[in-house]
Amino acid sequence: MLTLDRVTKTFRTGTFSGSTTTAVDRVSFSVDRGEVVTLLGESGSGKSTLGRMILGLTSVSGGSLTLNGEPVRPGKEYYRRVQGVFQDPFSCFNPVFKADRIFALVKDAYHPRVSAADWRARVEGAVRDVRLDPAQVLGKYPHQLSGGQLQRLLIARALLLDGLEILVADEITSMLDASTRIDVLNLLGDLRERGLGVLYITHDLSLGTYLAESTVVLRNGRIAERGATGKVFGNPLHPYTRHLLAAVPRLGVDWVDAEPVESCLFHGAGADGDLYEAEPDHFVACARLPECEGR
């Protein structure tokens, strides 16, 4: 189980001014094996930063991260168990090498004794699992593949690690059409049944609920609401969550203007990262916390 306890990230912005941005502010939740947790939130709310901290790609400014009770120590052992697929697929590939080099690197690092033929078969299996035709995508350079194809190759890479416990998936379906997206999500669902824990970062509310046992809604680096998916979506309490749900574009339904976040429902909740427990497994923060704190 991956546990986040009041995890915080502060960036220094402006080289000379010494000002800082708190991108993630005292965020606590956990991802268990065999569980999908959806992380939702506005653009710039800290989702990718949180994912990067979990993957050891950026330092943690405060709070703690533990995997099965042990403090997270990024390194080969850790990456065997925790892997990520990133938001920007293009930046994950070295344009000089063929795209399938990412698979060779996994073999060299983690499966050096597997024979070339067996490895080839495993790679092809993983590529088919993400609904790609190995003959069409293997042996090509990154620029020869489409955005959705690159995104799916990265998912396939993560699938090649035996003993993977946690997958951080940052917007991995953002460039896929509805049909392909469902296939990829079903694949994640099957992996979950085999014990994988997934942190599914997304802005796609229509499918954010499809797999997730629990949902975390992030706003300005803080948790606005979290809990069982059915409760968060069925009975959204935080005005921001309601706002998000109302703004989803739907076919044949007017794209309504969601009302702005203003009402203060849970005054003070969230001040130190603690949330108000509205019902079992459903937590919510004060909607106007930053202003309240500022007073």
Partner 1 sequence: MTLTVDDLRVHYRTLRGDVRALDGVSFTVADGEILGLVGESGCGKTTLGKSLIRMDGRMRHIGGTVTLDGDDVPVGDDRAMNAFRFHRISLVPQYSMSALNPTRRIGRMVRELLASRGVSVDTGELHRRLALVGLGPEVLERYPIELSGGMKQRTVMVISTLLDPSLLVADEVTSALDVSNQKAVAHALVGLRDRGLVTSMVFITHDLALTSHIADTVMVMYAGRLAEKAPAGVLTTAPRHPYTRRLLAALPEAGVRRSQGRLSGIEGSPPSLLSPPAGCRFRDRCPLADDRCAEQPPVVEVAPRHHVACWKA
Which residues contribute to the site for ligand ATP (CB under 6 A)? 11, 13, 21, 23, 41, 43-49, 87, 143-149, 175
- Distance in Å, CB of 95 to partner 1, minimum: 10
Decide: is 52 part of the binding site for partner 1 (CB under 8 A).
Answer: no
Instruction: Give alpha helix (H) positions in the chain.
Output: 47-54, 76-81, 101-110, 116-129, 134-137, 147-159, 178-193, 205-211, 229-234, 239-246, 289-294
Candidates 8, 38, 48, 83: give the one binding partner 1 (CB under 8 A).
48
Q: Which residue is nearest to ligand ATP (CB)?
A: 148
Candidates 20, 73, 90, 105: give the one binding partner 1 (CB under 8 A).
90
Distance (Å, whole) CA 287 – CA 267: 7
Binding site for Mg ion (CB under 5 A): 48, 87, 146-147
Token pair 């189980």 is found at: 1
HSE-CB for 249 with a 13 A CA cutoff = 2
Residue (11 or 97) nearer to ligand ATP, CB:
11
Decide: is 91 part of the binding site for partner 1 (CB under 8 A).
Answer: yes
Whether 29 and 223 have beta carbons less than 8 Å apart is answered as: yes
Q: Which residues bind partner 1 (CB under 8 A)?
A: 11, 13-14, 40-45, 47-49, 87-88, 90-91, 131-133, 135-136, 140, 143-149, 152, 171, 174-183, 185-186, 189, 203, 205-207, 209-211, 229-230, 233-234, 243-245, 247-252, 255, 258
